[in-house]
Structure 1
């Protein structure tokens, strides 16, 4: 039964994306759903290329030397590594499997950075042998790396030292001041076995100023390290460049209006439970803001500090490179009427949207693609559940006000899911197949050209 007014149901419309709209309007998704026999993701490589170029342009405009490494953990598709290889970009990896995947798809070793804590000996050996940059997280890891470089390696180990953020002292990543001092001494003692190229950090959150402040501290650390005879010409700020999924008005209106009555089973969320789906400085804009910011204790911008010190800025974005680069498609296979709304069941699980597994919700409104034109129009609120036996396995707890009545066989398209959504937590629960990924190579054609992604399973 249709509801008379949409005002009772908060919405969060995704920002317009012509490429995604073209795919949805082509009729291809219906055919793919039939052919693949279940949920799937589609990927848009042109968006990745555009995001990469935008970040590079921000560095160029500021006159700062730098490099962009795609954080591979953000999405498992081989496509993104292929785009990095084609564009001369880097890849951030944290395991032997990810490193082999990057090398196997054409990324040169010197364009790879190896992060993550407590790297095992196999990863260190392969990383040194291939000439990758290694973010060293602890003193025992540095000792293991030096040993690796001294025994059987024909080349020195390239490394940056990872710092514990002073404002996040309980982080499990990085070394404090005393440990960093010891690490630099050990790098000096190791001589030609290592090239200590600078420092890195991992900072939670998306605020610009704390990143600028910590980056300014790393510039100072590089200058002090040079006094010891170390190279120290790079700093890495990790990821943390926000993505905007919706406009400011929609976001603030949603946060102000949503309450437990808008969710299936009275589920409760607070504003702090959600990713910030709107950010005034996002993607390349966030990088520009960072470069223009004045780090605490400095009178000049971060860009000026980097240029004057001859220091390159490295970054490892994931989500920011995948903005508008893909979407997730489910077919509705069951519909139940509840008091004032419907409960839909689709042919997949919330493992393919990730946020529910962090006690959160993926908020951008899904699109409803009706199989027929006779579906009743109006306001039809509906929540979306998964094809599993768990009460908690909900793709969307929120009652989405769809403009037509959803029916069995219709498609739901969740937009902009490539960054940390579509495969971070996927598993073959109930022996359901993992959703395949379809690469849309050309969206401007009347019939988009597509292929299956080449990621090994």
Structure 2
């Protein structure tokens, strides 16, 4: 029997304890103290679909698409599919007016199967194979982002009609994040260094090909950026390079794609933004998914971009290009919640308390890869008693398989109860793996009090179906 059953009056006094910065907007406690998302109790989802399970709030995804369209009415908003590329999400974002970027033949196939217009698809990647380029050309994707001289040669050989391309440049802007996601610096695997002989050669080669049309430049600064000034500086540098192309080749480029990387807890009120200096340290990946973390303010970003475009174009007497942005994480991260069932609670004398759950680094490798940190909340009841500091550990045979360190959980937590980890919509399903031959979790959508399967659970039979020899 719970405290709520003994003292029903406590229900009206229960604090929400759910940080609005990391949970979907439509999150609340019901009368029994259970967490509800999209009108569905998370405990009910765990009972029906099992655990671990990814839950995705459809309305949260759609509302974030609309927020970007309102903030940038003249820009092209391109959903970065690598954050979470499944058919339902591709359908939702395109219905809300967004284009889609893909990074592989698999992501392209998912987008096309969702009915996305190929003209609204952009192909990315620093290592595209000839088969992937051939598929993209045959499908008629709207633009291909060129990342190497080899791709120019391959594309020229494959394109039977005029293919629009963007050249990816590294603008030399360091946002001081985790080394794995610093993509704006010069010395890294993506693109061509801005102003380099290599970049000049890429532009010249494309302009010499009659079946390739250079329409603009692309750049990407990194991930979890919450200071819009970095993007303003990128615009100023990129406009200068576009003006140089006009001066040398007489070609006016009309598109400028600034990539994504916006911090997940996107604020819409100017007083909510937390900014870091352009030359100072960033929160990086290690502090990206918990309450109080820094966040991008999309309205302030829009103002910074507009001012930078005015200044850059005026300085170089260059016509204003059409700007594109590629939010992925900022669209889907907060829409996702991962559910786990507690397997055991182990108190080590003089050490930590370990809460082991039925998931781990196979469904969320970001903790091991980037040092990402998460909130963890009991979902099946509202705790009103003492709490303990605990480490939530995964079930895999690795000492580093930890989902959260030093989180507050009920002192009376029991095996069989349900834990929820918010802000897990991006780079969780996308990075999921089958370590220890454990199948990947399902993706379950919630909306208006109903739940439905978007991606089914991967079974042992699915894993064994790939075995062909003895």
TM-score by length of 1: 0.79
- Specify the alignment match of 2:389 in structure 1: 381
> Conserved in 2, the CA contact under 8 Å of 1:291 and 1:302?
no
> Conserved in 1, the CA contact under 8 Å of 2:392 and 2:403?
yes
Select 2:241's aligned residue among 221, 238, 260: 221
Aligned counterparts of 1:370 and 1:29: Cα–Cα separation in 2: 7
Provide closer, same or farther for how the CA distance between residues 428 and 276 of structure 1 changes in structure 2, counting only shifts above 3 A. Answer: closer
- Specify the alignment match of 2:439 in structure 1: 433
> Conserved in 2, the CA contact under 8 Å of 1:291 and 1:301?
no
| Structure 2 gaps, min length 5 | 1-16, 174-184, 275-281, 459-470
- Specify the alignment match of 1:38 in structure 2: 51
Aligned counterparts of 1:215 and 1:455: Cα–Cα separation in 2: 42
Larger RCO, structures 1/2 (Cα 8 Å, 6+ apart): 1
Aligned counterparts of 1:55 and 1:245: Cα–Cα separation in 2: 10
> Conserved in 2, the CA contact under 8 Å of 1:306 and 1:313?
no
> Conserved in 1, the CA contact under 8 Å of 2:266 and 2:330?
no
Provide closer, same or farther for how the CA distance between residues 284 and 225 of structure 1 changes in structure 2, counting only shifts above 3 A. Answer: same
Count residues in correspondence: 407
Provide closer, same or farther for how the CA distance between residues 181 and 251 of structure 1 changes in structure 2, counting only shifts above 3 A. Answer: closer
Select 1:175's aligned residue among 176, 192, 208: 192
> Conserved in 2, the CA contact under 8 Å of 1:370 and 1:406?
no
- Specify the alignment match of 1:84 in structure 2: 93
Q: CA deviation at 1:344?
A: 0.9
Aligned counterparts of 1:412 and 1:315: Cα–Cα separation in 2: 35
- Specify the alignment match of 2:63 in structure 1: 50
> Conserved in 2, the CA contact under 8 Å of 1:216 and 1:305?
no
Aligned counterparts of 1:27 and 1:107: Cα–Cα separation in 2: 29
> Conserved in 2, the CA contact under 8 Å of 1:328 and 1:415?
yes
> Conserved in 1, the CA contact under 8 Å of 2:391 and 2:406?
yes
Query: Once the two structures are superposed, what CA deviation does each residue of 1:421-449 show, in whole Å capped at 9, x if it has no partner?
Result: x224311222222110101122xxxxx11
TM-score by length of 2: 0.77
- Specify the alignment match of 1:6 in structure 2: none
| Structure 1 gaps, min length 5 | 1-10, 253-269, 443-447
Aligned counterparts of 1:71 and 1:131: Cα–Cα separation in 2: 15
- Specify the alignment match of 2:3 in structure 1: none
Aligned counterparts of 1:86 and 1:318: Cα–Cα separation in 2: 16
- Specify the alignment match of 2:26 in structure 1: 19
- Specify the alignment match of 2:426 in structure 1: 419
Provide closer, same or farther for how the CA distance between residues 96 and 349 of structure 1 changes in structure 2, counting only shifts above 3 A. Answer: same
- Specify the alignment match of 2:256 in structure 1: 235
Aligned counterparts of 1:303 and 1:328: Cα–Cα separation in 2: 45
- Specify the alignment match of 1:256 in structure 2: none
Provide closer, same or farther for how the CA distance between residues 271 and 97 of structure 1 changes in structure 2, counting only shifts above 3 A. Answer: closer
- Specify the alignment match of 1:148 in structure 2: 158
Aligned counterparts of 1:329 and 1:178: Cα–Cα separation in 2: 51
Query: Once the two structures are superposed, what CA deviation does each residue of 1:272-306 show, in whole Å capped at 9, x if it has no partner?
Result: 671345566515245325315548xxxx4469889
For 2:222, what is the secondary structure of its paired residue?
coil
- Specify the alignment match of 1:453 in structure 2: 454
For 1:330, what is the secondary structure of its paired residue?
strand
- Specify the alignment match of 2:14 in structure 1: none
Provide closer, same or farther for how the CA distance between residues 272 and 210 of structure 1 changes in structure 2, counting only shifts above 3 A. Answer: closer
CA RMSD of aligned residues (A): 3.3
Aligned counterparts of 2:129 and 2:358: Cα–Cα separation in 1: 39
